[in-house]
A and B are shown apart, each in its own frame.
Chain A
Amino acid sequence: AQSVAQPEDQVNVAEGNPLTVKCTYSVSGNPYLFWYVQYPNRGLQFLLKYITGDNLVKGSYGFEAEFNKSQTSFHLKKPSALVSDSALYFCAVNHNNAGNMLTFGGGTRLMVKP
């Protein structure tokens, strides 16, 4: 069975500082990894994905993530945080399962303070 862990319930960072939101996964074989963001009372928005190729993937709003196979991690990063980045972030994995269904981590709340 596939699983995703986001070890931090909340990450606090000052505006302008770099941010990292951690994600580790457990699947057999090659994973397909995703990051989504959820703003209050809204649906999830896609940020970026890793399918194959370059381990560093770039996504929306200046976010990027690094796939590390040996550490089974897919941490989300941004060089300079904005207050408007404050939201709930979800990591997800799809392991070629029937129905293309995503397994989500528990979510990490990012708080960026001015």
Chain B
Amino acid sequence: DTAVSQTPKYLVTQMGNDKSIKCEQNLGHDTMYWYKQDSKKFLKIMFSYNNKELIINETVPNRFSPKSPDKAHLNLHINSLELGDSAVYFCASSQSFAVEQYFGPGTRLTVT
């Protein structure tokens, strides 16, 4: 009964490749997010997606693009992977504004 799930858990790939990380939530929430956690454990918001409205953190390179096939899914697609993209990526969801977000278990991306 995982509330927010992500696949894969681990992803190892080479520079220049394109990859996707999938996220699904079964909580009926209307907003989903992607966060990046670097090697120093610093967490940074990348995207927020609500009812087809996408809010992008201005610091995120345009190689990163979220794709939402439906309300329960928000996948993260990354083009032309770079070494600096290596991190743990967390998906999260919430019902509405000013309430807690529920996080997935994370996907550890390693770019070689």
Contact = CB atoms under 8 A, between A and B. Distances in A.
A96 B97 contact: yes
A51 interface: yes
B31 interface: yes
B105 A101 contact: no
Interface residues of A, number: 25
B101 interface: yes
A38 B105 CA distance: 10
Interface string B69-103: 00000000000000000000010101011111111
Interface string A86-114: 00101000101011111110110000000
A43 interface: yes
A47 B104 CA distance: 15
Given A101-B57, A102-B45, A43 B105 contact: yes
B55 A43 contact: no
Given A43-B106, A107-B41, A100 B98 contact: yes
Contacts of B43: 44, 90, 104, 107
Contact of B90 (A43, A51, A98): A43
A44 B36 CA distance: 12
